[in-house]
Structure formats: C-alpha cells, structure tokens
C-alpha cells in the first residue's frame, strides 16, 4: 500500500479506509489507484443482446 500511497499522493490510512468494505471512495480516488497500478478504466457501449 505504501507505493500506491506515494504514487497517488494519498495517505495510507485514507486508502485503507476508502478501499475497505465500508468505504465510499470518490471516483477520483479510484482513478488515481488505477493509474498507480498501471490500469486504465475503459467505458464501452453495451450490446443490447448481451445486456442482462
């Protein structure tokens, strides 16, 4: 968690709290964590035939 904390400029305690089961992270926090992990969030359209 320390490298993620450093890369996101968020405190470790804040990250633990935000990412816990009871947490309610801001969308910006999730995006920062994704970026720190080398991940990208991609939005695509839903094909109406596969939508459940």
What is the model's pTM? 0.76
Contact 19, 25 (CB under 8 A): yes
What local confidence, expressed as pLDDT, does residue 52 receive? Answer: 63
pLDDT tens, position by position, 1-52: 999 999 999 999 999 999 999 999 999 999 999 999 999 999 888 876 766 6
Rounded Cα distance between 52 and 41, Å, is: 21
What local confidence, expressed as pLDDT, does residue 18 receive? Answer: 95
What local confidence, expressed as pLDDT, does residue 46 receive? Answer: 81
HSE-CB for 17 with a 13 A CA cutoff:
6
Instruction: Name 29's Cβ contacts closer than 8 Å, sequence gap at least 6.
Output: 8, 10, 15, 18
């Amino acid at each position: 968690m320390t490298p993620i904390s450093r890369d996101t400029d968020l405190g470790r305690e804040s990250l633990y709290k935000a990412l816990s089961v009871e947490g309610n992270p801001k969308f910006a926090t999730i995006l920062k964590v994704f970026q720190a992990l080398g991940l990208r969030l991609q939005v695509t359209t839903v094909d109406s035939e596969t939508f459940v």
